[in-house]
């Protein structure tokens, strides 16, 4: 019985197993369908998120493109307005011409009317691509007044007075369309005002006083003295007034100017007419003074500023730059110059007479370091030439048996072309490597050989080696400056004459860089001619000028038969030269930027205005994203 039950149980189990076959497959299929459905849902969800994110990204990209485009276009408008300002213009001429805004508006439409790529640089060069275009632009002067003036009165079209600036305001509207990778676009409108202030600065240039054939600072109108008649070449100017007389004709080959708005015409001892014109006739018509102004007669010009002193010139000896306008101290000299024995200048309040040069000594080898020669105390100076390139300075101090003579030879071709300066005095000879040179004040770069001979005292005698003999070597550019008077006692001639006289023209091939300037800020250039025939020639630009000076060219010796100056004369005052015949020929090389080294200079107004300081600003009044509506 028990066995039968077991058999029946097994049969029942087999029957039930056959009924449950396929359930696992169905379960597997159901699970697979569930997973497939979930996967489809996830894919669609992810795709939707990507589409939404991409749309948002492209929309934001187009927004940033439009906003960046507005900034680019606004700055471009400002740049175009500023670029329309000319380099120079008159004070009563608008720097930004009326109608400029229309030209800028047209430029903006043409330049930014089509899609423009916005590209970055550096790490931003591969950033998300963006483009923009300006769909519309307007630019117009602000109402009611788009331009005003400062420093004067009136309107921009008709200003009155010393105008210091023109102030402009322009209302603008910019509409920008931005795009990114997709087709999404963003439209943004920006409205505001652009302000432009053109600060006016008088156009000027630094000019050497050697650029004038004649310059007189103090010349009061109708003061009883008149200009000596004759032919005067080169530009001529006075910070006072010109006074013309009846003793002879006046011929001016170049421009003549004055700060005074009138000139004085000395018709007679009792009648001097002040006339704002180039000629004058007496009331009875018997006398006419009519100078020949071949280069024009310009009255009422701006005064020319004068140099304050000669500190620059003394500084040039020490450093070759001559840019420092502070007074040289004994400590400065102690640190920069030495005598023939290598001893530094004594650092004391008591001056140490002698001749000093700027040089250093390293390993027993002297090397030139400055721009010239310093003479402390009064001296006699004779200029001469040596060989093909040597310039010789013979300096004598003292008199009789106590006189000390120092001879300095500057030769740029010596020492294998490196140049050498030789100093000889009292049986001692010193050879220094290098020569005096002029350096660029800003960079210190060598501009070329040049010598400043500064005498801290009087030059009691300045001359060449003899009448008709060369004193200034070809290629030698030098300026001689004295703290007090300079007395010229004989000819000072260029070895090669660069100017033909009396035609006053440049001689082809004769410009060898030779240049001589003679300058004193406190004293006179005195003439004391020691030559037997009574004639004397000075090939140089002569300057006796400073802000507090009273110097001029004056004769303290015998009457001169013929005085010839090839260069120019620059004076604080006109003084008596006691000369029968005076010839002043302008060295026309000095009118083209060339001048003796470290010669006194000034800043000259050019008659125009330079808008060197332009400021701009923007006031944004409205910013609207029209794509959000």
- Residues, the chain: 629
More confident residue, 61 or 508: 508
Reported as a single tens digit per residue, the pLDDT across 543-596 is: 999 999 999 999 999 999 999 999 999 999 999 999 988 888 999 999 878 999
- What CA–CA distance (Å, rounded) separates 192 from 169? 10
CA–CA separation, 87 and 83 (whole Å): 10
Q: pLDDT by residue (tens digit) across 277-294? A: 999 999 888 999 999 999
Cα distance between residue 488 and residue 473, in whole Å: 19
Q: What is the pLDDT of residue 124?
A: 44
Residue 297 has pLDDT above 80, yes or no: yes
Q: Are 294 and 504 in contact (CB under 8 A)?
A: no
Measure the CA–CA gap between 175 and 70, rounded to whole angstroms.
8
Q: What percent of the chain has pLDDT over 90?
A: 71
Calpha distance 272→122 (Å, rounded): 77
Instruction: Compute CA 600 distance to the chain's CA centroid, rounded to the nearest angstrom.
Output: 17
**pLDDT tens-place string over residues 509-526:** 999 999 999 999 999 999
**Which pTM does this prediction carry?**
0.70
pLDDT of residue 508: 94
Please give the Cα distance from 309 to 482 (Å, whole number).
11
For residue 532, the model assigns a pLDDT of 95
Contact between residue 552 and residue 194 where contact means Cβ atoms under 8 Å apart: no
Please, what is the end-to-end C-alpha distance for the chain in angstroms?
94
d(CA 181, CA 83): 35
DSSP conformation class of 209: G
pLDDT in tens, 65-116: 899 999 999 999 999 999 999 887 877 888 999 999 999 999 999 999 999 9
pLDDT of 395-454, one tens digit each? 999 999 899 999 999 999 999 999 999 999 999 999 999 999 999 998 999 999 999 999
Mean predicted confidence (pLDDT) in 492-496 = 98
In this prediction, residue 42 has a pLDDT band, given cuts at 50, 70 and 90, of: confident
Residue 405's alpha-carbon distances to 339, 375, 424, 461, in angstroms, are: 13, 12, 8, 14
Indicate if the pLDDT at residue 50 is higher than 70. no
Q: Which whole number is the average pLDDT over 116-145?
A: 80
Average pLDDT, the chain: 90
What's the pLDDT band for 61 if we cut at 50, 70, 90? confident
Given pLDDT bands bounded at 50, 70 and 90, which one contains residue 52? Answer: very low
pLDDT of residue 16: 61
Residue indicated by tokens 């053109």: 198
Rounded Cα distance, 408 and 374, in Å: 11
Nearest of 290, 245, 404 to residue 340 by alpha carbon:
404
Q: How far apart are CA 584 and CA 49, in angstroms?
A: 94
Angle at 337 between CA 336 and CA 342, to 5 degrees: 125
Q: Which residue has the tokens 């969800």?
A: 45
DSSP-derived pairing of the beta strands 263-266 and 272-275: antiparallel
| CA distance linking residue 199 with residue 613, whole number of Å | 5
**pLDDT > 60? residue 51:** no
Residue in the block written with tokens 């000095």: 590
For residue 51, give both structure tokens.
């589409």
Identify which of 491, 527, 496 has the alpha carbon closest to the alpha carbon of residue 511. 496
pLDDT digits (tens, 9 = 90+) for 145-157: 999 999 888 899 9
Q: Quote the tokens at residue 242.
A: 């010109």
């Amino acid at each position: 019985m028990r066995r039968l039950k077991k058999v029946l149980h097994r049969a029942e189990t087999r029957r039930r197993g056959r009924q449950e076959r396929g359930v696992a497959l169905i379960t597997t299929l159901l699970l697979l369908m569930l997973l497939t459905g979930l996967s489809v849902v996830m894919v669609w969800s992810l795709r939707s998120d990507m589409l939404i994110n991409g749309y948002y990204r492209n929309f934001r990209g187009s927004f940033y493109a439009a906003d960046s485009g507005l900034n680019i276009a606004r700055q471009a408008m400002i740049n175009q307005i500023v670029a329309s300002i000319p380099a120079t213009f008159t004070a009563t001429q608008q720097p930004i011409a009326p109608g400029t805004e229309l030209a800028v508006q047209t430029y903006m439409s043409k330049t930014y009317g089509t899609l423009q790529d916005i590209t970055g640089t550096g790490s931003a060069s591969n950033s998300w691509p963006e483009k923009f275009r300006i769909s519309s632009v307007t630019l117009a002067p602000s109402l009611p007044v788009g331009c005003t003036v400062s420093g004067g009165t009136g309107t921009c079209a008709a200003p009155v007075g010393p105008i210091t600036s023109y102030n402009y305001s322009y209302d603008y509207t910019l509409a920008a369309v931005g795009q990114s990778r997709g087709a999404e676009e963003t439209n943004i409108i920006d409205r505001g005002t652009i302000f432009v202030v053109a600060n006016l600065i008088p156009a000027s240039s630094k000019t050497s006083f050697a650029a004038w054939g004649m310059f007189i600072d103090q010349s009061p109108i109708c003061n009883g003295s008149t200009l000596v008649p004759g032919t005067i070449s080169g530009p001529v100017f006075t910070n006072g007034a010109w006074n013309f007389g009846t003793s002879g004709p006046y011929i001016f080959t170049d421009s003549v100017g004055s700060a005074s708005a009138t000139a004085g015409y000395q018709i007679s001892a009792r009648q001097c007419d002040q006339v704002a014109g180039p000629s004058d006739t007496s009331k009875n018509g018997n006398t006419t003074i009519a100078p020949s102004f071949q280069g024009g007669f310009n009255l009422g010009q701006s005064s020319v500023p004068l140099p304050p002193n000669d500190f620059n010139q003394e500084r040039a000896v020490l450093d070759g730059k001559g840019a420092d306008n502070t007074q040289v101290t004994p400590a400065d000299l102690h640190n920069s110059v030495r005598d023939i024995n290598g001893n530094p200048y004594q650092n004391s309040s008591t001056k140490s007479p002698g001749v000093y040069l700027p040089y250093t000594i390293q390993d027993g080898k002297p090397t030139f370091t400055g721009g010239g020669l310093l003479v402390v105390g009064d001296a006699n100076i004779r200029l001469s030439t040596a060989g093909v390139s040597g310039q010789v300075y013979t300096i004598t101090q003292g008199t009789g048996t106590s006189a000390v003579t120092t001879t300095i030879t500057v030769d740029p071709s010596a020492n294998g072309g490196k140049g050498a300066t030789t100093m000889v005095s009292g049986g001692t000879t010193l050879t220094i490597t290098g020569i005096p040179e002029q350096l660029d004040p800003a960079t210190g770069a060598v501009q070329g050989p040049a010598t400043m001979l500064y005498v801290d005292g009087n030059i009691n005698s300045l001359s060449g080696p003899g009448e008709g003999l060369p004193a200034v070597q070809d290629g030698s550019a030098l300026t001689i400056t004295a703290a007090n008077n300079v007395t010229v006692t004989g000819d000072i001639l260029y070895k090669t004459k660069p100017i033909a006289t009396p035609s006053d023209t440049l001689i082809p091939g004769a410009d060898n860089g030779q240049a001589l300037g003679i300058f004193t800020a406190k004293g006179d250039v005195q003439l004391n001619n020691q030559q037997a025939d009574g004639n004397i020639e000075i090939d140089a630009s002569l300057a006796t000028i400073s802000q507090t000076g009273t110097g001029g060219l004056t004769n303290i010796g015998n009457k001169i038969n013929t005085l010839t100056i090839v260069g120019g004369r620059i004076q604080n005052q006109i003084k008596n030269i006691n000369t029968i015949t005076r010839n002043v020929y302008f060295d026309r090389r000095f009118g083209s930027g060339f001048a003796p080294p470290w010669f006194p200079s000034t800043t000259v107004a050019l008659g125009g205005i330079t808008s060197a300081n332009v400021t701009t600003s923007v006031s944004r009044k409205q910013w609207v994203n029209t794509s959000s509506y």
